[in-house]
Structure 1
Amino acid sequence: MSDIALTAAQRTSLLSLQNTQSLSERTQTRLSTGRAVNNVVDDAVNFFRAKSLTDRAADFDLKKAEIDQGISTLNTSLQAIESIDSLVKQMKGIVESARSQSTTERKSSTTQFEEIGKQIYQLVEDASYQGLNLINSTNSTLDVSFGTRTASKLQVSGIDLNATAGDTDALFTVTVFTNDGDAINVSNFGLSAGSFTSFGDANSEVDKANDMIQVLDKGIERLRGHAATLGSNVAILQTRLDFTNNYVNELTVGSDKLTLADLNEEGANLVALQTRQQLGIQSLSISGQQQQAVLGLIG
């Protein structure tokens, strides 16, 4: 309690000034932050409703990053398969050319054929994104979660293009290319030592090239099937990413509707409060002048 006695008029003016100052500070805060609700004291109901929306938007922001990384993982595998498709077509071209080549020329073609095979093997092994390779192991799995309160997700199982004979996911239905210099084993074509240096005297066994081309064509078919599957999964993830972007935006807009201030209104309020503050100061000054007048009479 103040030791100084104030008149009722002075106390009224002072309280009015204090209230005006408080309102002025609140208005200035709203203008500087752009929000009418900055803490729970401003509006408890809207504060917590907005916070719930903001928290959910933050959760889905994390999901956006996960989905985006999933797209990159699939695109890496897809681009690798497209490159392998191109290499297999080169192999097919070499075999087709070998039909009309001399024995010496076919030896050179064999070297090219085997080199491309090793490059395919290495490309498959190199197609990794953040440690995950979806085309060199059936044990590899990509899991992308879409929600925070549901089990909605996309799971993509890996394939093994460097698998052994009999694996339907493998690039060829014969023993694979390896990284140690061995060539593809095409002994089931009736070719010696896995090469096609000789198609018989005077090219009498060039029909074996047709068998090899058939296997290469089947390899290309499998590659395109895998590419279609990966492309479909990329489309799914892109759709979910677009939805998540829009959803986060709607959550943010909804939160803003509960908390944002009308800057035009707050600007008008500030002008009015400044005017009221000046009037309050004048009123307090007039009350003080009255006391000075009494003091003058006493003197």
Structure 2
Amino acid sequence: MTSILTNVAANSALQTLSTINNSLEETQGRVSSGYKVSEASDNVAYWSISTTMNSDNMALNAAADSLGVGAAKVDTAYAAMESAIDVVNEIKSKLVTATETSTDKVQIQLEIGKLQQQLTSIAKGASFSGENWMVSNGQTEGSVVDGFVRSTATTGAESVAVTTATYDIAGNALFSDEDATSGGILGTTGGVMSIELTDTTSQSDIAAFMTAVETALDGMTTAGGSLGALSTRIDLQTEYAGKLSDAIDEGVSRLVDADMEEESAKLSALQTQQQLAIQSLSIANSSSQNLMTLFQ
């Protein structure tokens, strides 16, 4: 039955065209944005995961940038410690020379005095971004940001934290005050700075000075090792942070990025379907006009 009030074919063709247009609009949006999940309404679960992981990735990248600052602090401290060890070794050689009874100990002391001044200069100059790990000056430890972590507690609640690596300034400082006039808290250079040769300095005194130098060298070597280990950790963490950031990017990409080959094929198919639907609607609308021939 043909009705002039209700065109069933036209209604069906119109619904089909509307559905195709909606799909075409969605596909065009994916092609233009590159995302298959660009907002929560597209896929709540994937959108929520990607939003959280993108936020964490930004924090991780910020922590990686902080690692660069930390590496500079460690490198500065290590360079100072290495230079200080060279100076103390030079002082040690001067003391060995002073054990010869015919040497002028006063002249040797002039050289040792200059080397002691060099030690203070090294320590006071080992500052980066306002921090000096060679002079404790009340500091107990130095810290370097090395990561950002998200964990789930036993209660099911999530927590986030910035992790740090630490260095024992109190135990490894060359000097304990900012004027670099007193030795480290654990005597890293305390005995070295007290060395003073005179014409009356005995062999036993020189032997005691040598012991102080060896004690200082042991402490400085330990401190240098701690700095070297911290530097290695920073390098490893920097490499890991880069890999982790890439892995997060790839994981989020799998969740929300559009497959451009698939979307391109779908777009072409939908455009063809749209043209056919328009043609079908045109045919359905023209069918009612054919009724006019019945009244002629």
Instruction: Classify the TM-score, shorter chain.
Output: 0.7 to 0.9
2:243 to 241, 246, 254: 246
Indicate the percent of aligned positions where both proteins have the same amino acid: 20
The amino acid of 2:39's aligned partner reads N
In 2, are the aligned partners of 1:35 and 1:260 still within 8 Å (CA)? Answer: yes
- Which residue in the other structure is 1:73 paired with? 73
- Aligned residue pairs total 272
Q: Structure 1 pair 284/98, CA: closer, same or farther in 2 (3 Å)?
A: same
Q: Is residue 2:285 matched to residue 1:279? A: no
**Cα separation, partners in 2 of 1:289 and 1:117, compared to 1, 3 Å:** same
Cα distance in 1 for residues equivalent to 2:284 and 2:103:
119
Native 8 Å contact 1:13 1:280 kept in 2? yes
Q: Deviations over 1:101-131 (max 9, x none)?
A: 764xx65544332222212102111212222
SS in 2 for 1:173: helix
1: CA distance between counterparts of 2:183 and 2:143? 28
Please give the alpha-carbon distance, in whole angstroms, between the structure 2 residues aligned to 1:91 and 1:168: 20
Structure 1 position 166, deviation (Å): 8.3
Q: Does 1:158 align with 2:131?
A: no
2:190 is paired with a residue whose SS is coil
Determine the C-alpha separation between the residues in 2 that align with 1:135 and 1:32: 56
The root-mean-square deviation of aligned C-alpha atoms, in Å, is: 3.4
Q: How many angstroms apart in 2 are the aligned matches of 1:206 and 1:49?
A: 74
**Residue 140 (structure 1) shift:** 4.4
Distance 1:41 1:291 in 2: 41
Q: Which string of whole-angstrom CA distances, capped at 9 and with x for unpartnered residues, describes residues 145-170 of structure 1?
A: 54353675433231331243684243
Summarize the Cα distance change of 1:235–1:282 in structure 2 as closer, same or farther, 3 Å threshold: same
What residue is the counterpart of 2:179 in the other structure? Answer: none
CA distance in 2, matches of 1:165, 1:279: 90
SS at match of 1:162: coil
More deviation, 157-166/256-265: 157-166
Structure showing the higher strand proportion among its residues: 2
2:188 aligned to which of 170, 174, 181: 170
1:134 correspondence with 2:133: yes
Which SS does the other structure have where 2:31 is aligned? helix
Q: Distance in 1 between matches of 2:16 and 2:280?
A: 10
Assess, with a 3 A threshold, how the Cα gap between structure 1 residues 6 and 216 changes in structure 2: closer, same or farther: farther
- The 3 A distance-change label for structure 1 pair 88 and 62 is same
- Which 10-residue stretch deviates more, 126-135 or 288-297? 288-297
- State how far apart, in whole Å, the 1-side matches of 2:288 and 2:200 are: 125
Residue 189 of structure 1 is matched in structure 2 by none
Q: Deviations over 1:159-208 (max 9, x none)?
A: 3312436842431326x4xxxxxxxx33xxxxxxx344x368xxxx5675
Query: For 2:134, what is the secondary structure of its paired residue?
Result: coil
* 1:36-90 Cα shifts (integer Å, max 9, x gaps): 1111111112211322333333333333333443333222211210111122223
The separation in 2 between residues aligned to 1:115 and 1:16, in whole angstroms, is 93
- Note the C-alpha offset of 1:278: 1.7
- The whole-number CA distance in structure 2 between the counterparts of 1:169 and 1:28 is 72
Partner of 2:253: 256
Which residue of structure 1 lines up, in the alignment, with residue 117 of structure 2? 118
CA distance, structure 2, for counterparts of residue 28 and residue 170 of structure 1:
69
Tell me the SS of whatever aligns to 1:170.
Answer: coil
CA distance in 2, matches of 1:99, 1:121: 26
8 A contact 1:132–1:140 mirrored in 2: no
Structure 1 CA distance, aligned partners of 2:70 and 2:187?
22
Q: Distance in 1 between matches of 2:295 and 2:87?
A: 112
TM superposition score normalised by structure 2: 0.75
CA–CA separation in structure 1 for the residues paired with 2:143 and 2:32: 44
218-227 or 253-262, which moves further after superposition? 253-262
Q: What's the counterpart of residue 47 of structure 2?
A: 47
SS in 1 for 2:78: helix
Specify the alignment match of 2:89 in structure 1.
89
Q: What's the counterpart of residue 216 of structure 1?
A: 213
Answer whether contact 2:77 2:133 (CA < 8 A) is retained.
Answer: yes
Q: Are the structure 2 counterparts of residues 28 and 297 from structure 1 closer, same or farther at C-alpha, using a change threshold of 3 Å?
A: same
Contact 1:70 1:142 in 2 (8 A): no
Stretches of structure 2 lacking an aligned partner (at least 5 in a row): 151-158, 177-181
CA–CA separation in structure 1 for the residues paired with 2:25 and 2:200: 94
> What is the rounded CA distance, in whole Å, between the counterparts of 2:117 and 2:294 in structure 1?
114
